[in-house]
Each structure stands twice: as structure tokens, then as C-alpha cells.
Amino acid sequence: MPLVGLGTSPMGDDDAATAVASAIEVGYRLFDTAARYGNEKGVGQGLRAAGVPREELFVTSKLRGAQQGYASTRTAVEESLDRLGLDYLDLYLIHWPLPLRDLYVESYRAMLELAAEGLIRSVGVSNFLPAHIERLDRETRTLPAVNQIQLSPALCRIDSRDYHDANGIITQGWSPLGQDEKVPEAPIVTTLADKHGVTPAQIILRWAVQQGISVVPKSAQRERQATNLDLFSFELNAAEIAALTALDLGDEAAVDPELHEEF
């Protein structure tokens, strides 16, 4: 899985088709969508329009809360593949655990079966806490390949990342540039951007990928897509990484997966 991909929320089908085709032209190969986003058809159109061989692309989609459950998960995967126009997904995630519904384990079992059947290459989760993953491990004896979580210098999620690293799980960050925290405007970010001659977004994304964190920043603008992908021509030193990490507001500032509802 590439370290840097294109996030597609909250694009509609038309915008997603254009953005995905543009991103492929500038070098992206990882594309992140979800049933909940309502743009899988557009993402599929963009993938086909670019004319790049399927095996060169890495496509992720996610199970929406309304379709959690064993049988409905199998149906959801088939529906996502139909909308995308694909024969298989490289990665499929449970979008949110929704522990109050208590269906994520049986959904995960269905996903493991679909992986064995070849419809999914890798099975993962999104917004899961270590306790949720430990339950999956106890009941299925299979750890997820990826956990996609809200992550930026303002939400470093150190405990989750340590747990992932200890268990061979890839950490992937959504909203890697932050949200209301205004990370790109932080003085340390703008100072480092001036020092390295790059954009604030590049500083933030470099902070992540240099630590082995995969990111899926979203942009429909070709120029911004290109700069978000151009992260390997400069390097942050240890002190700079630490200074950015010091922006951390703590996990309590993130959306709470125990309570968040997504359908």
C-alpha cells in the first residue's frame, strides 16, 4: 500500500471522477472511498478514465454502519464493487466500530471470508480503539492489516500507534492536515515550511510519512494534489518532528469511537 493516497470525502460522483483521474495523472496510486461518501461510482469512473492497469492501483472502500452484520456485509461488498466497477478491493475497512450495535465482529468474519474468496485483498478497520481490535483478535484470531484513524500533529494518537506497531498493524491517518485545530496555521508549521521551502501541508504530511504513517489527504485541485504527493525531496530532523508532535491536544480531542454513530 502506498504511503500517500487521495481521500475523496466529501466529493460527489462528478467531482470524485475528475479528482481521481487528475490524481492518477500526477502519480497517485492509492484511492480512499467509502459507501458512506456516496461517490464510489465517481471514483470508479475516474479510475477507468485514467487508463492505468488495475494491478497498479490500490483502492480502499469501507462498510457503512447501516450495513454492519454478517449477511449485510457480504451484500455491501458486492454493492461497492458494482458501483466502483471493480472485481476486487485492495483494502476493505469497517468504517466505525459502533460498539453499541455490537455487530463489528460478525461483519469482520464476513470480510475475512470475502478475502478468502478473492473479493478483498486485505481486511482492515477504521476508527477502532485497541480494545476493539483486541476483541477481533480474540474472536477471529486475525488482526486487521490497517487501522485508519483521525490523526494529525494536533491528534498524534500515540497510544494507538504504539499498539499498532507492536501488533504489525499499519496506521493510516484521515484528516492528516487537521480540522478545526488549524494545524497549517500553527507558527511551528509555517516556520518549518519557510525553512524547507515547501507548503505547510507538505510539512504536516511529511511529519506523518516520515514516521511510517500512511495518509490520505483530500483535494480536488490538481496543483494541490501534486504538492501533497511531493513529500520525499526534503526531510525533517528529530527536533522538528518533536516540535510538531508537541502540538498534540490528546486523544480526548478526537471523535470518540465509543460513542460516534455513522449509518
Domain range summary for the chain, segments of one domain joined by +? 6-250
Strand, coil or helix: what is 206? helix
Given this model, what pLDDT does residue 140 score? Answer: 98
Are the beta carbons of 231 and 205 closer than 8 angstroms? yes
Whole-number Å distance between alpha carbons of 2 and 28: 9
- Please list the helix, strand and coil fractions of the chain in percent, rounded to the nearest 5, in that order: 45, 15, 40
pTM of the model: 0.97
Beta-strand runs (E) in the chain: 6-7, 30-32, 58-63, 89-94, 120-126, 146-150, 170-174, 214-215
User: How many C-beta atoms lie closer than 10 Å to residue 135's C-beta?
Assistant: 16
Residue in the block written with cell 525553512: 195
Which regions in the chain score pLDDT beneath 70?
A: none
Given this model, what pLDDT does residue 164 score? Answer: 98
Given this model, what pLDDT does residue 79 score? Answer: 98
Strand, coil or helix: what is 12? coil
Catalytic residue among 37, 104, 108, 163: 37
Identify whether 92 is a catalytic site residue. no
- C-alpha dihedral (22, 25, 28, 34), degrees to nearest 10: 40
The class level of CATH for 6-250 reads alpha beta
pLDDT in tens, 164-177: 999 999 999 999 99
pLDDT in tens, 98-137: 999 999 999 999 999 999 999 999 999 999 999 999 999 9
